[in-house]
Structure 1
């Protein structure tokens, strides 16, 4: 990977956590549109159910965060928010076929662990009530370890969760202080002992590209993380999008690492993790050899949705609850109101709190499958795609933006290998898989949307 390649391809492109990306969602999409999509979803694939709960509150707002997070409110308003969640869940659950099975439950934020464990346990039990689950469903929660004592961690293991994502971000306290991120209250090693003794699966989450990070300092952080032997380790590339989150301008003033240094941070971290026995999955995940994500990758069956990477076993249509939550159904996306008070008011009045969404055409459903497959598996075989979605190969190729001259340029630069049958990312090219995906996307031909850079 040369500096010239980084300069050429480090251009803003979608992250493709959804297709179309969320900034294409339309204000004209209504609650009635969502109700119709929910009813249709009972007969669509994937048949499994995934629930997402958004807890928007944070004790402190980290400067790097681009998520939909809000400062803590008083207890009365937090209680009203939880009550609204229960009402919204009840509305949607009543429309779902009881013959379907729950595959995933995920709590994100904000900081879900600002809530008492008893509240989280109650929400889990309400979600699971009335449905069977698949074998070994994924019931996961994002945790900020900066505020959690031993008793909280121990109680959390008894609240039906079986996967815990610890938002460490960096072990370097100067990096954390500059980012307004509190370090872990307990030694992370002690947290691991508590969770592992309960049989839990553990993710560690890190961010690279923050002020004061260097290639060596981030390598030291990842070396310490690998020694803990988490089940999965995630290295997120810091997405600098100050037009979305003005707090990020604070970091810009301090000074951000260059694209070249970010690339080296990722490469060094990858090397450390490879030597520690981890396998790269997707853009940012590293897992053990026996992890089902790695096994899915080996058979080109890795998937991704708003919950993150998953397999065909655990993949489900997502029904999201809480402010800004995005439901991801087969035929549509729907996003909830962003303002907490407006969300509570809408739900208390018996309304679904939809603010915008998107109905996917048949063509866009094909494009979504192509881009998701490429992003997850670093390859796409046109006939296998056609077989999977029960379409003709010609229909698949006609749906996307297939430009052979662009593909040849990627190939000449060493990013891909391609033929009439498929596209395969090279090791060098994987860093820029978003660019290749964007080249296949008809929406990107004349796009005026804003996106982050790959590196």
Structure 2
């Protein structure tokens, strides 16, 4: 398995800048509102012509509780009836999207995200699945990857059984922290017993994989307190685990104003929490996949990284790089071929477009050749921590040292600092550079340099 990262506090502080997370390249910041949707439709036609497999994403924006830290696109409401109107529009969009693709294109991956997808009732979840199956080819589900995000406060064994019956075989549980004081400060009180109950149900019902999210940097968190949470989570043995950085941006997200800034851990404590949590997870057998993500050695993500087939998209790390991604629902982002589109973020605008018989996308981007080359380089680095120049040269018919002369020059100080080994043949990210992979990828980002020159603060810190 891959070499574990080495934490170097001096280097972490030196390179802890703001930068993209590279769930896409180009990033969503580059999407343009004057985008011509015919580019997307043409790309969908090409996907159909070659019978490319599909990945579906469905955004369910509703939550019954507001979590103060959250920066997702969501609608907080106790009125479950609001979902009925939304589903009516969602189903109409599903029809429009499906009409662009071939009925023989098999769905290999499905993800329901939010918000809280389990805000929907069992009958509503069945209606979503029935609708998708009626217009897309789900085929045999033996090798399918169907996942859903869960709030353990709102899921019981009956719901878990229903999800399994509907074909879901992976779940993602938002845990964040098991410390009650932290939970109260972020308005997400969920006893460990609730999390364990969902986990027990998943294992009893033979779900293939359980993913858990933790967040560091929340109010009242301490190193000892968070390590206690990490120990308890490791004992639960989820297949995958994420350690996300809390970005406190109350000027952008109103609910974060309910968090007392004085209760947040200082930057040094925050770094120490991440440091110790990372080391503990690796010591206890988890593989560091990269970008906050960990997995057990027998998990598909760890195996894909070892075999060189790992990919990264808007759902994070994935093993389905060959699929075209069709995203449906408010704010969702699709990628078909070399074309990105994003749906309206506003519910009113989303519904208005559908009422007019239009796809509800309001911005997008068609990748050019330079985008494709840089995307391939960034994906290889961020997924596998290495890059073979000859492979890029052969694939794109270029001389790497000429095409990326500026990037290679910018990497030399990083090589001197021990973040990477730079040779005439390629790049190998060293253990000290793995925590700073975003910084390395930035050197190949053709847009990021322009943004830095314009002094645009568009991204979170890399650590």
TM range (shorter): over 0.9
- What is the alpha-carbon root mean square deviation over aligned residues? 2.2
- Give 4+ residue runs of structure 1 displaced > 6 Å after superposition: none
* Match of residue 385, structure 2, among 361, 378, 389: 378
Distance 1:380 1:258, change over 3 A: farther
Residue 227 in 1 paired to residue 227 in 2?
A: no
Displacement after TM superposition at 1:12 (Å): 0.8
| CA distance in 1 between partners of 2:461 and 2:260 (Å) | 15
What aligned pairs does 1:23-422 form with structure 2 within 5 A after superposition? 23-43=29-49, 47-72=52-77, 74-129=79-134, 130-131=136-137, 132=139, 135-184=142-191, 186-200=193-207, 201-242=209-250, 244-251=252-259, 253-312=261-320, 315-387=322-394, 390-394=395-399, 400=404, 402-422=406-426
Q: 324-333 or 260-269, which moves further after superposition?
A: 260-269
Contact 1:61 1:69 in 2 (8 A): no
Distance 1:346 1:212, change over 3 A: same
Change (3 A) 1:369 1:218: same
* 1:453 equivalent in alignment to 2:461: yes
After TM superposition, the score normalised by the length of structure 1 is: 0.92
Give ranges in structure 1 of 5+ residues lacking alignment.
none
Between the aligned partners of 1:366 and 1:79, the Cα distance in structure 2 is: 43
Change (3 A) 1:133 1:260: farther
The answer as to whether partners of 2:80 and 2:119 remain within 8 angstroms in 1 is no
Shift, 1:399, TM fit: 5.1
Normalised by the length of structure 2, the TM-score is 0.91
Q: Does 1:22 align with 2:28?
A: yes
Residues 3, 194 of structure 1: alpha-carbon distance in 2 compared, 3 angstrom cutoff: closer
Count how many residue pairs are aligned between Structure 1 and Structure 2. Answer: 450
CA contact (8 A) 1:13 1:451 kept: yes
Deviations along 1:90-129, one digit per CA (max 9) or x if unpaired, are: 1111211233221110011111110012211221232234
C-alpha change, 1:69 and 1:431, in structure 2 (3 Å) is: same
Asked if residue 5 in structure 1 is aligned to residue 11 in structure 2, the reply is yes
Shift of 1:189: 2.1
Determine if contact 1:335/1:357 at 8 Å carries over to the other structure.
yes
Single out whichever of 11-20 and 250-259 deviates more from structure 2: 250-259
Structure 2 unmatched ranges of 5 or more: 1-6
The 2-side partners of 1:264 and 1:340 are apart by 40
Alpha-carbon shift at residue 349 of structure 1 (Å):
2.9
Deviation of 1:242 (Å):
4.2
CA drift at 1:18: 0.7
- Aligned equivalents of 2:197 and 2:107: distance in 1? 32
